[in-house]
Structure 1
Amino acid sequence: MHKDEAGELYEQAREAWATEQWQVAADRYEELLGHLPDAPSSAAWWYDAALAHKFLRNWDKAFTLGREAAARAPRGEGDPAFWNLGIAATVLREWAVARDAWTGFGITVPEGEGEIFGSFGICCVRLDTDSAREVVWAVRLCPTRARVVSVPVTPGRRFGEVVLHDGEPKGERTVDGRSHSVFDEILRFETSDLPTHTVTVSAGTASDIDALEAVFTQQGYGAEPASSFQFLCTCCSEGSREQTRSVHAGTQQVSVAAPANEIPELLDTWAAAGPKRSWSDLASVG
Structure 2
Amino acid sequence: MPIRVSRNGRAATLNAAGNDCEERGDTAAALDLYAQAARVQPNWAVPWFNLGLVHKYAGEWQASLEANLAALEREPDHDGAGWNAGIAATALGQWRLARAMWRRFGIDMADSDEPSGFAPALTPIRVDPNGLAPEVIWADRIDPARAVIRSVPTAASGRRYGDLLLHDGAPNGYRRLDGREVPVFDELAVLTASDYETWELHITQIDADQTEALLRQLSAADLLAEDWGGLRNLCRACSEGRPDDDAGHDHGPLEPSSADTARIGLAMPASAADPTWVRARVADIPGAELHSLTRVLPTEALEAQP
Alignment TM-score, normalising by the size of structure 1: 0.80
The alpha-carbon distance between structure 1 residues 8 and 74, as it changes in their structure 2 partners (threshold 3 A), is closer
What SS does the corresponding residue of 1:108 show, helix, strand or coil? coil
Q: Work out the CA distance in 1 between the residues paired with 2:146 and 2:205.
A: 36
Q: Work out the CA distance in 2 between the residues paired with 1:265 and 1:275.
A: 17
Alignment TM-score, normalising by the size of structure 2: 0.76
Pair 1:262-2:274 in alignment: yes
Aligned-CA RMSD value? 3.3
Alignment deviations for residues 124-170 of structure 1 (CA, whole Å, 9 cap, x no partner): 12222642211111111111211112211143321211222221212
Q: Work out the CA distance in 2 between the residues paired with 1:23 and 1:169.
A: 26
Q: Give the letter aligned to residue 259 of structure 1.
A: P
Q: Work out the CA distance in 2 between the residues paired with 1:22 and 1:96.
A: 31
The alpha-carbon distance between structure 1 residues 6 and 181, as it changes in their structure 2 partners (threshold 3 A), is closer
Residue 237 of structure 2 aligns with which residue?
Answer: 235
Pair 1:198-2:210 in alignment: no
Q: Give the letter aligned to residue 100 of structure 2.
A: D
Of 203, 223, 226, the residue aligned with 2:225 is: 223
The alpha-carbon distance between structure 1 residues 210 and 100, as it changes in their structure 2 partners (threshold 3 A), is farther
Alignment deviations for residues 11-31 of structure 1 (CA, whole Å, 9 cap, x no partner): 112222134244334334434
Q: Work out the CA distance in 2 between the residues paired with 1:221 and 1:180.
A: 27
Pair 1:79-2:79 in alignment: yes
Residue 23 of structure 1 aligns with which residue?
Answer: 28
Q: Give the letter aligned to residue 66 of structure 1.
A: N
Q: Would you say the 8 A contact 1:70–1:85 is kept in 2?
A: no
Residue 108 of structure 1 aligns with which residue?
Answer: 108
Q: Would you say the 8 A contact 1:9–1:28 is kept in 2?
A: no
Q: Would you say the 8 A contact 1:224–1:255 is kept in 2?
A: yes
The alpha-carbon distance between structure 1 residues 213 and 34, as it changes in their structure 2 partners (threshold 3 A), is same
Pair 1:131-2:124 in alignment: no
Q: Give the letter aligned to residue 14 of structure 1.
A: A
Q: Work out the CA distance in 2 between the residues paired with 1:111 and 1:280.
A: 55
* Larger displacement relative to structure 2 (128-137 or 223-232): 128-137
Q: Give the letter aligned to residue 88 of structure 1.
A: A
Residue 253 of structure 1 aligns with which residue?
Answer: 263
Q: Would you say the 8 A contact 2:174–2:242 is kept in 1?
A: yes
Q: Work out the CA distance in 1 between the residues paired with 2:208 and 2:266.
A: 17
Unaligned runs of 5+ in 1: none
1:230 Cα deviation (Å)?
Answer: 0.8
The alpha-carbon distance between structure 1 residues 131 and 251, as it changes in their structure 2 partners (threshold 3 A), is closer
Q: Would you say the 8 A contact 1:148–1:159 is kept in 2?
A: yes
* Larger displacement relative to structure 2 (203-212 or 225-234): 203-212
Number of aligned residues: 277
Identity rate, percent: 32
Q: Give the letter aligned to residue 253 of structure 1.
A: R
1:226 Cα deviation (Å)?
Answer: 2.5
* Larger displacement relative to structure 2 (96-105 or 51-60): 51-60
1:185 Cα deviation (Å)?
Answer: 1.8
